[in-house]
Amino acid sequence: MRRVLLAASLTAMALVSVATSAAARDATPAPAALAEAPSDKELGYRILSELVTRFGARPAGSDADHAAAAWLAGQLKALGFEGVGLESFPIERWSPGVSSVSVTGAHAQMLVAAPLGGLVAGPPVEAPVASFASYADFLAAPAASVQGRIVAVLEPLPRTQDGSGYLRMAVIRGEGPGEARRRGAAGFVMRSLATHENRVASSGATTPLPRPFPAFSLSPPDAEQLGRLAARGTVTLRLDSSASWIGPGTSQNVVASVPGRDPAAPPLLIAAHLDSWEQGTGAVDNGFGLAAVIAAAKRIGDLPERPRRSIKVVLFGAEEVSQADPVKNFAGARAYLRLHRNAPRLDLASESDWGGGRVLRLRYPAGDGDLQRDLRAALAPIGVNVVPEPPESGTPDANVLADSGVPLFRLDQDASALFDTHHTPNDTLAKVDGGALEQNISAWAVSVWLLANRPVSGGR
Sign (positive or negative) of CA dihedral 326, 332, 333, 338: positive
Contact 348, 408 (CB under 8 A): yes
For residue 131, pLDDT beyond 80: yes
* pTM of the predicted structure, to 2 decimals: 0.92
Contact 417, 433 (CB under 8 A): no
Check residue 459 and give its pLDDT. Answer: 37
- What is the helix (H) or strand (E) element at residue 436, kind and residue range? helix 434-452
Mean pLDDT, rounded, of the chain: 92
Per-residue pLDDT tens digits for 156-202 = 999 999 999 999 999 999 999 999 999 999 999 999 999 999 999 99
Reported as a pLDDT band with limits 50, 70 and 90, residue 360 is very high
Per-residue DSSP letters for 146-162?
Answer: TTTSEEEE-PPPPP-TT
Check residue 378 and give its pLDDT. Answer: 95
For residue 36, pLDDT beyond 70: no
Per-residue pLDDT tens digits for 415-444 = 999 999 999 999 999 999 999 999 999 999
Per-residue pLDDT tens digits for 64-123 = 999 999 999 999 999 999 999 999 999 999 999 999 999 999 999 999 999 999 999 999
- Across 72-76, 261-265, 456-460, the highest mean pLDDT is recorded for 72-76
For residue 21, pLDDT beyond 80: no
Alpha-carbon span 187 to 17, nearest angstrom: 61
Per-residue pLDDT tens digits for 297-339 = 999 999 999 999 999 999 999 999 999 888 889 999 999 999 9
Please tell us whether the domain made up of 97-242 is placed in CATH 2.40.50.100: no
Alpha-carbon span 215 to 185, nearest angstrom: 11
Q: Which one is the CATH code of 2-94+247-452: 3.90.1640.10, 3.40.630.10, 3.30.360.10, 3.40.50.720?
A: 3.40.630.10
Alpha-carbon span 216 to 236, nearest angstrom: 15
Give the domain ranges of the chain: 2-94+247-452, 97-242
For residue 151, pLDDT beyond 80: yes
